[in-house]
A and B are shown apart, each in its own frame.
Chain A
């Protein structure tokens, strides 16, 4: 089923004629590392003005007056607009669920009569330069009638809680019980062992290096609004812009230049980009808005603040019998478009059983609204949290039952595929057990268990922790439709065009914002066509150049985008063979691709280069077969069948706790991952490492807290402790390859795995180290003070 790939495989294209699997150097690197990348903030247009936003300074309240007199009088300020001035349509995400399950709420582009979080945009100020724009913001006078802020999930759900949205009783935007196995209470009552975990994760910021931003301008000749913005989903931004501005969608063009990350924060439609576009139309001048870091930290889309009350029942042999979970996600002030506030609880409810054979399952998932910056998807969406809870349940059960924590997992992971779980999801083949075994073997071979024991004698405190998980990658239309979304991502459409020289341009509805698609999608197409990848150029991120697509998120690009480009390339191959056979005057089944051209099967001396075929297809169309259209273009779409494909991995962490300071030091980080066929090992490993860094950040460092008034605690990187290279350990990565039958290239997607596995592995390592103290920690991030106190109390 699976094969082990050596750590740094040699490029394999020279062995079997394929570019897939080769560490082809990133095509993006030369321009990016020499400062020749072009990001939104690098764009300058003639007469361009600069925007900043007047933002709410209170978390909850009625807006009594927005006085922009001083703003408009500020030297350098061109204009300032409130919601009333622009009259824009709201952004509303809808799920097809009854009102008892989901309450749609409107997010105005600029707040009107009410503000719901500190940082909410109230007015847009347009000035000649970014400095005077801020002067204008400072001169605005907003008066509020401040109300009691709702700043926690408990407060939101309290009986007498003030309502964040009048139409959302109990401050609940989503309340869904997706699964409830009959007789589950009896299973718990009769079980040998029942364990409980009450876990919390903190609000985080996905923190792309490049903050959000936009340059909006009007093009008279195209009769089009041109919006250059850093989004993961250009077509969805176009759809919402057209609706909000009440224009034909063709009259809006969204173009994405180079991007410095997104991690989900940019896969939802932002209010500021719409306001900036509306201002550009109003003023008939290009308008640029670059989100500054202060706003990015507190007023951009956040994520991950969740509370789990979970119970699991086990038999005496450590086999899990039942899982019962109550999940409350604090989604902040608004529903994000297109996913809605249901994104986190629906993901957790659907995927919680993970890699384990769970016979009985009951779950209630809720999204509550609070007076905090709204949530959007963030790399891994809920899975870092529910995997952490699941892994804590297994660790706790292993203690209760006196079992080895790896052995208890071994007894419960799914080993026969396809497997349809209690959650109704069918899992394609993976290496759940193999990755666990290999990871444990690596830890054992490196002697960590012995060192832990030896060092304990010197008073040093070490722990070993594991995390075993899977990750659905490439969600199909059907999978999202199951969640009752009304804007349902899933498919992707690609077009492949060959020019008269035999070079190829390929379009993809996916959108690389750091994932190296220019390299990897070119590798795929080059392999299908037998071309050098250097002759394949990718076009993405321009709604006028690319057919409607769903962008890049949820690890969908290699699986869905990669499959669509493959199918389009295959169709082009058919046409090349068809024309080639005609030109060689032989039967269509007597030709094959060879070395950038077509040759006759029964006479290898009879060959045609692609350029020769293209010359006929474009310049000498009179020579084409009668049934063949001129030109060399082909289009195809792909939508994964059924539940899509699942990547998997096991992570292991060795951590040392320092008693004097409470510092958690990661001594070793091992990752055994299986993302199916690896298209480019270097890119896969980059994804793993970056994801793991963000997972460690969630486990140990990052937290946005709010005081009672709803004031966030993250004005700068002094407060928001994103870890640096100094805190992130080296990661050793091992690959297993279980090709997926559900995608065109056997790839499974790898975008989020690192982030999913790290919190549980780190937390389990810390708890293993704390074992002699009897203290267990289930809330992230783990502060040094918490560790210090745990070690102090027990000594």
Chain B
């Protein structure tokens, strides 16, 4: 469990990191918190020839509410978001609350928002939140070329995204407040990758649901929005057990999850039903 040999480069700024990526080509990999990449290197499942360390680029560590919504710099740690609830305001409290599901405190203290999005684990909380809340990410390519990618177009499959090898994910933007949103999940041990994770964002008008979004992780290679369940919310009704059960059943019927040692497809379907119900309840109570 020792990595294969690699060269280590530390970038001074985003431009420098970008330059290094262009120079070093496909054998280079960005490292920030290293919470996923380094274990994979230790198992020699990942063997980049070059590591470009961007962990010290302070310009990418920020939480900025502005007219565009909430901007979170890629190098902001999970722990920073977890403890910034007051600064985020009620509209984005779901982001802080969801962080308690991310690994354990040491992982949250090192791991970064951008790293998690770029790593694209199918059960990662940030990926699920981005898909749920229609986030966009900003990436910087060679020659300071910047583009944005909608979360819906970001994830291609297991651990693969539409971010190019010479691009750096610099920021994620959550465009609108989600005051009635919640994320919940189940893993046999707390802190593990979720067997299934569910996130719900309700449009509430008093006690009435007028619409909403439902996203699931762990049921497909990428986090998915479940339109059948969102259709139930769009038809609306009193925010209560009946509507939530209908929404959860719709979600469970719409998925075709994988089976592994943590559970069969049927079990994951049952978990999805339980967790969507739970997420609806929690979202409604915010």
A133: which B residues are within 8 A, CB to CB? 2
> Is the C-beta of A789 less than 8 angstroms from some C-beta in chain B?
yes
A726: interface (CB < 8 Å): yes
B189 partner, pick from A293, A660, A727, beta carbons under 8 A: A727
Residues of B within 8 A of A (CB): 1-5, 39, 43-44, 186, 188-193, 261, 263-264, 267, 270-271, 273-275, 277-278
Task: With CB as the reference atom, state the residue of chain A lying closest to B3.
Answer: A131
Residues of B within 8 A of A724 (CB): 189-191
User: Looking at the complex, which one of A134, A701, A718, A788 makes contact with B267 (CB distance below 8 Å)?
Assistant: A788
Q: Is A727 a contact of B263 with CB atoms below 8 Å?
A: no
Q: In the bound complex, do residue B188 and residue A721 qualify as a contact, i.e. CB atoms below 8 Å apart?
A: yes
A705 to B260, CA, bound (A): 12
Known: A719-B261, A788-B270. A135 touches B4 (CB 8 A): yes
Q: Is A138 an interface residue (CB 8 A)?
A: yes
* Residue interface mask A645-682, B partner, CB < 8 A = 1: 00000000000000011110000000000000000000
Q: Mark A323-360, 1 if CB is under 8 A from B, else 0.
A: 00000000000000000000000000000000000000
Q: Are A715 and B43 in contact (CB under 8 A)?
A: yes
Residues of B within 8 A of A788 (CB): 267, 270
Interface assignment of A3: CB less than 8 Å from any CB of chain B: no
Q: In terms of DSSP, what is the predominant structure of the interface of chain B?
A: loop
Cα of A727 to Cα of B2 in the assembled complex, Å: 30
Bound: A135/B264 CA distance, A: 38
Knowing that A660-B270, A785-B263 are A-B contacts, what are 9 other residue pairs whose CB atoms are under 8 Å apart, sorted by A's residue number?
A: A134-B4, A135-B4, A661-B186, A718-B192, A719-B261, A727-B190, A783-B263, A784-B186, A784-B267
Q: Which residue of A lies closest to B278 (CB)?
A: A660
Say yes or no: B43 contacts A294, CB within 8 Å: yes
Residues of the A chain whose Cβ atoms lie less than 8 Å from the Cβ of B3: 131
Q: Are A661 and B261 in contact (CB under 8 A)?
A: no
A residues with a Cβ closer than 8 A to B are 130-131, 133-135, 138, 292-294, 660-663, 701, 705, 713, 715-716, 718-719, 721, 723-724, 726-727, 783-785, 788-789, 792
CA distance in complex: A700, B13 (Å): 48
**Residue of A whose beta carbon sits closest to that of B1:** A292
**Would A723 and B189 count as touching, CB distance under 8 A?**
yes
Q: Give bound CA distance, A133 to B2, whole Å.
A: 9
Q: Which 8 A-B pairs have the closest CB atoms?
A: A660-B274, A292-B1, A785-B267, A726-B190, A131-B2, A134-B2, A661-B186, A785-B263
**B193 (CB) vs chain A CBs: closest residue:** A718
Question: Smallest distance from the beta carbon of B241 to chain A beta carbons, Å?
Answer: 13
Cβ contact of B44, chosen from A138, A721, A785, cutoff 8 A: A138
Query: Shortest distance in angstroms between A668's beta carbon and chain B's nearest beta carbon?
Result: 19
Nearest-CB residue, chain B, relative to A76: B5
Interface centre among A134, A727, A785 (most CB of B within 10 A): A785
In the complex the two chains form, is A713's CB within 8 Å of B43's CB?
A: no
Chain B hits for A784, CB < 8 A: 186, 188, 263, 267
Knowing A131-B2, A134-B2, A789-B267 touch, does A716 contact B188 (C-beta < 8 A)? Answer: no
Contact B263 A716 (CB under 8 A): no
Q: List 16 A-B contacts (CB under 8 A).
A: A134-B44, A138-B4, A138-B44, A292-B1, A294-B1, A660-B275, A660-B277, A663-B188, A701-B188, A716-B39, A724-B190, A724-B191, A726-B190, A727-B189, A783-B263, A785-B263
Q: Given A785-B263, A785-B264, do A130 and B189 touch, yes or no (CB 8 Å)?
A: no
In the complex, how many angstroms separate the beta carbon of A793 from the nearest chain B beta carbon? Answer: 12
Known: A131-B5, A138-B44, A660-B278. A721 touches B264 (CB 8 A): no
A724–B274 CA distance with the chains assembled, in angstroms: 24
- When C-beta atoms are compared, the residue in chain B nearest to A792 turns out to be B270
Please measure, in the bound complex, the distance between the C-alpha atom of A625 and the C-alpha atom of B261, giving whole angstroms. 75
Q: Is A726 in contact with B189, judged by CB distance below 8 angstroms? A: yes
| Residues of B close to A783: CB separation below 8 A | 188, 263
Closest to B274 in A: A660
What is the chain B residue whose CB lies nearest that of A660?
B274
Q: Which of B2, B44, B189, B193 contacts A701 (CB 8 A)?
A: B189
CB distance from B83 to the nearest CB of A (A): 20
Residues of chain B within 8 A of A715, CB atoms compared: 43
A464 to chain B, nearest CB (A): 23
Residues of A within 8 A of B4 (CB): 134-135, 138
A781's nearest neighbour on chain B, judged by CB, is B188
- What are the residues of chain B within 8 A of A723 when measuring CB–CB? 189
Is there contact, CB below 8 Å, between A716 and B43? yes
Query: Of the candidates A130, A134, A294, A713, which one forms a contact with B261 in the assembled complex, judged by CB atoms under 8 Å apart?
Result: A713
Determine the distance from Cα of A726 to Cα of B103 in the docked complex, in whole angstroms.
12
Residues of A within 8 A of B39 (CB): 716
B44, B192, B193, B267 — most chain A CB neighbours (10 Å): B267
Q: In the complex the two chains form, is A130's CB within 8 Å of B2's CB?
A: yes
Contact B271 A661 (CB under 8 A): yes
Question: A721 to chain B: which residues have CB within 8 Å?
Answer: 188-189, 192
* Contact across chains for B188 and A293 when beta carbons are under 8 A apart: no
A304 to B43, CA, bound (A): 28
Q: How far is the CB of B182 from chain A (nearest CB, A)?
A: 15
CA A130 to CA B2, docked complex, whole Å: 7
Nearest Cβ on chain A to B198's Cβ, whole angstroms:
11
B126 to chain A, nearest CB (A): 19
Q: How far apart are the CA atoms of A468 and B159 in the complex, in Å? A: 49
Q: In the complex the two chains form, what is the Cα distance from A130 to B42 in whole Å?
A: 12
Q: Which residues of B contact A130 (CB under 8 A)?
A: 2
Question: B278 to chain A: closest CB distance in Å?
Answer: 7
Q: How far is the CB of B86 from chain A (nearest CB, A)?
A: 26
- Report the Cα distance A292→B44, complex, angstroms: 13
Give A292 to B2 CA distance when docked, in angstroms: 9
Given A135-B4, A719-B261, A789-B267, do A661 and B189 touch, yes or no (CB 8 Å)?
no
Across the interface, do B191 and A726 meet the contact criterion of CB distance under 8 Å? yes
Q: How far is the CB of A215 from chain B (nearest CB, A)?
A: 18
Quote the shortest CB–CB distance from A705 to chain B (angstroms): 7
Residues of A with C-beta under 8 A to B278:
660
- Chain A min CB distance to B272 (Å): 11
Name the residue on A nearest B271 (C-beta).
A661
B263 touches A661 (CB 8 A): no
Contact B191 A293 (CB under 8 A): no
Complex: how many Å from CA A452 to CA B3? 52
Shortest beta-carbon distance, A703 to chain B, in Å? 9
Q: How far is B275's CA from A70's CA once the two chains are assembled, in angstroms? A: 52
Q: Is the CB of B43 within 8 A of A661?
A: no
Q: Is the CB of A663 within 8 A of B186?
A: yes
Instruction: Determine the distance from Cα of A541 to Cα of B194 in the docked complex, in whole angstroms.
Output: 44
Q: How far is the CA of A716 from the CA of B193 in the complex (A)?
A: 13
Could you say which of B2, B5, B193, B277 has the most chain A C-beta atoms within 10 Å of its C-beta?
Answer: B2
Chain B contacts for A785, CB-based, 8 A? 263-264, 267
With the chains together, A539 CA to B209 CA distance in Å? Answer: 72
In the bound complex, what is the Cα–Cα distance between A125 and B271 (angstroms)? 47
Residues of A within 8 A of B271 (CB): 660-661
In the complex the two chains form, what is the Cα distance from A147 to B189 in whole Å?
37
CB distance from B77 to the nearest CB of A (A): 21
Kindly provide the distance from the CB of A294 to the nearest chain B CB, expressed in whole angstroms. Answer: 5
Minimum CB distance partner of A294 in chain B: B1
Which chain B residues border A662 with CB–CB below 8 Å? 267
Residues of B within 8 A of A705 (CB): 261
For the complex formed, measure the closest distance between the CB of A722 and the CB atoms of chain B, giving whole angstroms.
Answer: 8
Hey, which chain A residues are within 8 Å of B44, CB to CB?
A: 134, 138
Q: Chain A contacts of B5 at CB under 8 A?
A: 131, 135
Q: Once bound together, how far apart are the Cα atoms of A719 and B189, in whole Å?
A: 11
CB-CB under 8 A from B273, the residues of chain A are 660
Instruction: Please give, as numbers and ranges, the residues of chain A lying within 8 Å of B189 by CB-CB distance.
Output: 701, 721, 723-724, 726-727
Rounded to whole angstroms, the CA-CA distance of A135 and B191 in the bound complex is 32
How far in angstroms is the closest Cβ of chain B from A718? 7
Q: Which residue on A lies nearest to B190, using beta carbons?
A: A726
Interchain nearest-CB distance for A71 vs B (Å) = 15
Chain B residues near A727 (CB, 8 Å)? 189-190
**Cα A502 to Cα B266 with chains together (Å):** 72
A726 cross-chain contacts in B, Cβ below 8 A = 189-191
Cα(A135)–Cα(B44), bound, Å = 10
Q: How far is the CA of A784 from the CA of B270 in the complex (A)?
A: 12
- Which among B1, B2, B274 is the interface contact of A661 at CB below 8 angstroms? B274
